[in-house]
Amino acid sequence: MFNTILVLCTGNICRSPIAEALLKNALPGRHVHSAGIGAMVGWPADPHSVAVCAEAGIDLGAHRARQLTGQMMQAADLVLVMDQGHIDALTPRYPQHRGKVHKMLRWHDNLDVDDPYQMPRSMFERVYAEITQGTHDWVKRL
């Protein structure tokens, strides 16, 4: 059973906070956390992520970016990443955990969720929709 889910992106301010919030809402009782492979430690979620989530009734106001650690990887039963670059970065650092690392959009042709950092709000809206779909697909399988 996947009781502890870790969601990763690059900076832990755009994509993974959205996914963390959506998964927490969809999977009460499970431990869902997020971090960044190259986190902007201590930063709040990107204002566009906050705004897009707020429109859906999700509050990211308390989010602060965290850096991925080996302890986080060890504790996670499932690690969801946003793109192939994340898998490529994690595999040499944590080869023993490769089997539990999967893309958020695994069930959608294993597509990437593009990084919206410093992009217009419309990109964040697209990313939110993709992560929402990925969340629904994962929840059905967990």
**How many alpha carbons fall within 13 Å on the CB side of residue 32?**
22
SS3 123: helix
d(CA 140, CA 77): 17
Which residue in the list 77, 114, 115, 137 is annotated as catalytic? Answer: 115
Question: Which strand ranges, in their side-by-side order, compose the sheet holding 4-9?
Answer: 31-36, 4-9, 78-81, 101-103
d(CA 101, CA 9): 12
Is residue 9 annotated as a catalytic residue, yes or no?
yes
Which residue in the list 15, 46, 66, 83 is annotated as catalytic? Answer: 15
d(CA 81, CA 67): 14
Phi, psi of 43 (to 5 degrees): -75, 145
Is residue 53 annotated as a catalytic residue, yes or no?
no
Is residue 64 annotated as a catalytic residue, yes or no?
no
Which residue in the list 9, 46, 53, 66 is annotated as catalytic? Answer: 9
Active-site residues: which are they? 9, 15, 115
